[in-house]
Amino acid sequence: MVVVGGGLAGCEAAWQIARANVHCILYEMRPHKQTPAHQTGDLAELVCSNSLGSLQENSASGLLKAELSIMGSLLLDLAQASQVPAGHALAVDRKEFSSRVEDALVGHPLIEICRQEVTSIPEGSAVVLASGPLTSTDLAQDLQKLTGESMLHFYDAAAPLIQADSIDGEKTFRAGRHGGGDYINCPMNAEAYAHLVEELNRAKRVVRRSFEPKELFAGCMPVEELAGRGLDTLRFGPLRPIGLVDPKTQERPHAVVQLRQDDRYGRLYNMVGFQTNLTWPEQRRVFRLIPGLEGAEFLRYGVMHRNTFVRAPHILNPAFECRKRPGLFIAGQLSGAEGYVAAVATGLLCGVNAARRALEQPLLNWPVDTLTGALSNYVSQGPCRDFQPINPNFGLLPLMAGGRKTRRPKQAYQALRSMRIFWSQLGNGRIL
């Protein structure tokens, strides 16, 4: 069996295939051929953020992680082992996480890792294509030829990284929203906030006009795009001060820029919500206007890159198998499932089903009252004409009575109950 792509989805898929006692070759073109966003040749490299989202089960990200835990996800286990402080979120030390994933796969006797570019879809009874949103041109063209569909795309943006000892502790404070102290907060009064918004609107951008807002994914909207939508947009978005009190004033700031720890040792911090495509000199100039960041040393500037995905409702069934070529599975962001945790979930789903296809077993459809099943159901059967990548969310689950606060716990309870029953009937995934 073959898995193409050594990102989150591909690594999880390869592990699940090997878990079913099927030999797997995992292809990854890096470091011999890099992408516009990756910086290393590491397996499971995290690009845009080091956070895998909330751990709370009343959030979609937390619920999906709880389902992955039931299913025995390798990458979730290794993320938890690489965890760094981030309040109620699962953030990881990037290098440690990638190293743990690589060690696990390299050490498995049924997994062979091949460092070379795949330029066409491999032959075979079962193939998982998890080449990601930055799929190389030749492979993307071969997929287009197979499906008869044009590839779709949007533009994604990554936030800057700051050296921790360059942050002014006298002007910042540590706290998490509604408790905890795992974020560095840069408080802003109304004047400082208005000045930041003004400068974000004036700043020079890298991307040409042909890349403009209609192609931007709402889940990773560049900070300057949000600033251009009105003075208070950022203050009610990533810079919202809700749940935070500045200990120096004992008051809630007008706005807050949060910095999240990016490595285990607390040397690097990520600017939360500051994905951007400003030029690097402009990033340095504008972001140093933020209180506490006047002397910030940027270890990585924000970047913007093109993300490719297929028109999944035309191409895939709920098992993430290509309708025109049985045995070809598409996992991760290439399938239109957006986000790190969704990549892991689709990799697990595709890995299990690819192994079943190789063993001539019936494919599995996950229950639609689980978030894993609801996501696969939407991706394969959602609106075709305007299909866009989607983050897992509670709106995909069957509706239950009550308001949002009472409905979500019911949906989460039902999802986890259904997943436990479904997975136990498979022998916890080991009996295929």
β pairing state of 2-4 and 24-27: parallel
Per residue in 68-81, pLDDT tens? 999 999 999 999 99
d(CA 85, CA 60): 20
Q: How far is CA 1 from CA 25, 212, 329, 347, in A?
A: 6, 40, 12, 14
In CATH, the number for domain 2-151+310-425 is 3.50.50.60
| Percentage of residues of the chain with pLDDT beyond 90 | 60
Q: How many other CB atoms are there within 10 angstroms of residue 17's CB atom?
A: 29
CB atoms within 10 A of CB 249: 11
Question: β-strands 89-92, 127-129: how paired?
Answer: unpaired
| Nearest alpha carbon to residue 316 among 355, 356, 363, 358 | 363
**pLDDT confidence of residue 346:** 97
Say what the pLDDT of residue 405 is: 73
What's the CATH architecture for 158-305? Beta Barrel (2.40)
Closest by CA position to 375, among listed 13, 64, 7: 64
Could you tell me the strand order of the sheet in which 83-84 lies?
51-54, 89-92, 83-84
Entry pTM? 0.77
pLDDT in tens, 391-407: 888 888 988 877 767 88
Sign of the dihedral through C-alpha 18, 366, 336, 94: negative
Task: Return the pLDDT at 385.
Answer: 61
What one-letter code names the amino acid at 278? L
Could you tell me the residue ranges of all domains in the chain?
A: 2-151+310-425, 158-305
Instruction: Tell me what the mean pLDDT of segment 317-323 comes to.
Output: 95
**208 pLDDT exceeds 60?**
no
Q: Whole-angstrom Cα distance, residue 184 to residue 203?
A: 25
Beta bridge partners of 261: 269
The percent of residues above 70 in pLDDT, for the chain, comes to: 90
Instruction: Answer yes or no: are the C-beta atoms of 412 and 396 closer than 8 Å.
Output: no
pLDDT of 429: 52
How high is the pLDDT of residue 323? 92
**pLDDT higher than threshold 90 for residue 372:** yes
Q: Which residues contact 101 (CB under 8 A, 6 or more apart)?
A: 11, 43, 44, 74, 75, 78
Tell me: pLDDT of 36 over 70.
Answer: no
Q: Among 30-39, 50-59, 169-178, 421-430, name the one with the lowest average pLDDT.
A: 30-39
Q: What is the pLDDT of residues 276-317, one digit of tens each?
A: 989 989 999 999 999 999 999 998 888 776 778 888 888 999
Residue-level pLDDT at 210: 44
Q: What angle do CA 272, 250, 254 make, to 5 degrees?
A: 45
Q: Are 180 and 87 in contact (CB under 8 A)?
A: yes
Q: Which residues pair with 298 in a beta bridge?
A: 162
Long-range CB contact pairs, 362-368, < 8 A, 24+: 363/319, 363/321, 364/319, 364/426, 365/318, 365/319, 366/318, 366/419, 366/422, 367/418, 367/419, 367/422, 368/397, 368/398
The per-residue pLDDT for 218 is 61
**Exposure pattern of 343-372 as b/e (b: 16+ CB <10 Å)?**
bbbbbbbbbbbbbbbbeeeebbbbbbbbbb
The pLDDT, as a whole number, for residue 209 is 42
